[in-house]
Amino acid sequence: MLIGINKGENSGMPSTLAINSDYKRTLLEGLELFSGVRPDDVQELLQRCDRCDLASGELLLSPGEKNEHVYIVLSGSLNVHVGSVDAPVLATINAGECVGEMSIIEDRDPSAFVIGAEACHLLEIHRSVLWEMVNASHEFSKNLLVVLSERVRSHNRVIADSFGELQKFERHANTDALTGLSNRHAMNEEFGSELDRCVSNDSPIALIMIDVDNFKKFNDMFGHVAGDRALSAVAAVLKKQFRPRDLLVRYGGDEFAVLLPDVDMELATTIANRVRTAVSGDTESSNDSLIQIPIQISMGVACLKTGSSLQNLIRDADAALYRAKHAGRNVVCN
């Protein structure tokens, strides 16, 4: 259970730091904010600072709760969590380091949860005292800038790492794991933007829907592993047959779709027949014993009509594919 911090009332030590010269020098040694700071410059201000005792698991800072202090770890360590207290530890604040300065500088609530990783002793500097220390010591203000710049770099690294993970997630979400092609999830965005470009330029655009013939029977006869290998082989042939700018996706199951920008119906039909022949020819001539089994495809071709939409184009290509399958398969219809 997370509870508030103990301000030192029960720790046997005064909450206000009454420090002599020797203790003052010992206290400042190893604290990143006070590196190089002359003790005499901040002696009176240190007298106005408090000491906090924080137990392991106790909450020091949290989003949604205003922070008025910078905390310097005198002993022990703190853990930083983003999102929730149950999230993985993002960073650890060790003895000599500080926390809470960003919320003071930005005048905002803390952006993370800070919790005692173990029992800690903390020096607590109120925001008003912090600014007086900045005015009193050039070295202190320089140290504060260094701490802030490092914190910003750390935040940037976290953002970059998170962005990288997001890109990886989006790439996986938009890519078919079996064939490496874009999947149906990515189709609407990719196809839609290319369709809009062609419409804006008054250019033709064609869509070919592709279905592997009798694939269910193939799966039933040879098994799903063989079926996956067959689909991968078909995808590999398709990749070689279309231009880099053509948008080829695995539509789902044993179906593929390819959008051909700046291609009219006559040329799209010619391309489809060439691709159909290539699939049958390449798979039959392969040295792979599995792929020597003939694989054939049916194809439906459609072109975007004036004032039509992507959904209508898909519907027209699907209807053409239906006609191809009912015309005996291994044919192209438009």
Residue 183 pLDDT greater than 80, yes or no: yes
- Terminal CA-to-CA distance of the chain, rounded, Å? 68
The Cα diameter of the chain in Å comes to 98
Residue 191 pLDDT greater than 70, yes or no: yes
Q: What is the mean pLDDT of residues 205-231?
A: 89
Residue 8 pLDDT greater than 50, yes or no: no
Residue 114 pLDDT greater than 90, yes or no: yes
Q: Write down the pLDDT at residue 155.
A: 60
Residues of CATH 3.30.70.270 domain(s) within the chain?
A: 182-333
Q: pLDDT tier at 302 (50, 70, 90 boundaries)?
A: very high
Q: Write down the pLDDT at residue 27.
A: 63
Read off the pLDDT of residues 15-25 as tens digits, 9 standing for 90 and up.
444 445 555 55
Amino acid 332 reads V
Q: Write down the pLDDT at residue 242.
A: 94
Q: Which fold has domain 21-166?
A: Jelly Rolls (2.60.120)
What's the pTM value of the predicted model, to 2 decimals?
0.50
Q: Write down the pLDDT at residue 167.
A: 57
Residues of CATH 2.60.120.10 domain(s) within the chain?
A: 21-166
Residue 98 pLDDT greater than 70, yes or no: yes
For residue 238, how many other CB atoms are within 10 A of its CB?
22
Q: Write down the pLDDT at residue 293.
A: 60
Read off the pLDDT of residues 221-279 as tens digits, 9 standing for 90 and up.
888 888 888 899 999 999 999 999 999 999 988 999 999 999 999 999 999 999 999 88
Provide the token pair at 198.
């062609």
Residue 60 pLDDT greater than 70, yes or no: yes
**Helix or strand run (H / E) with residue 255:** strand 255-261
Asked whether the beta carbons of 119 and 128 are under 8 A apart, the reply is no
Q: What is the mean pLDDT of residues 117-146?
A: 93
In whole angstroms, give the CA distance from residue 56 to residue 236. 57
Q: Which homologous superfamily is 182-333 in?
A: Reverse transcriptase/Diguanylate cyclase domain (3.30.70.270)
